[in-house]
Amino acid sequence: MNREILENNGVDITAALALLGDMDMYNETLAEFLEESKTRLPNIINYYNAQDMSNYSILVHAMKSDSKYLGFSRLAELSYNHEMASKEGNVDYVSMHINELIEEANRIIGIATKYLEG
């Protein structure tokens, strides 16, 4: 596995390793993130479509936390903004920025998949 794939795409490996310890733990956590994303992203979209901000906030909070641990700074920031907005019931903010969140999540999933597949 080539760390440059991650680093060249804006992943903060240094910050992630400070939290996770070593690349083995990073790789294991990253694989769990990818597996979780298979259901998390569709559920985020479903909760958004249903205007269920309570459950939406739970899932974007989880994505924020995972993203922070894995060095996905931009995704962590976007997820945080969505978490705060959804907890406040600010559907307008969520509506205006949902595509940006999903696009960044999908970008990260693609990078992570490429990295883990070597």
What are the structural domains, with CATH classification, of the chain?
3-117 (1.20.120.160)
Q: Give pLDDT tens digits for 80-99.
A: 999 999 999 999 999 999 99
- This prediction has a pTM of 0.95
| Structural contact between residues 63 and 105, judged by C-beta atoms closer than 8 angstroms | yes
pLDDT value for 48: 97
Low-confidence ranges of the chain (pLDDT < 50): none
pLDDT value for 98: 98
pLDDT value for 84: 98
Q: Count of CB atoms within 10 A of residue 52's CB? A: 15
| Residue among 80, 54, 53 at smallest CA distance from 67 | 80
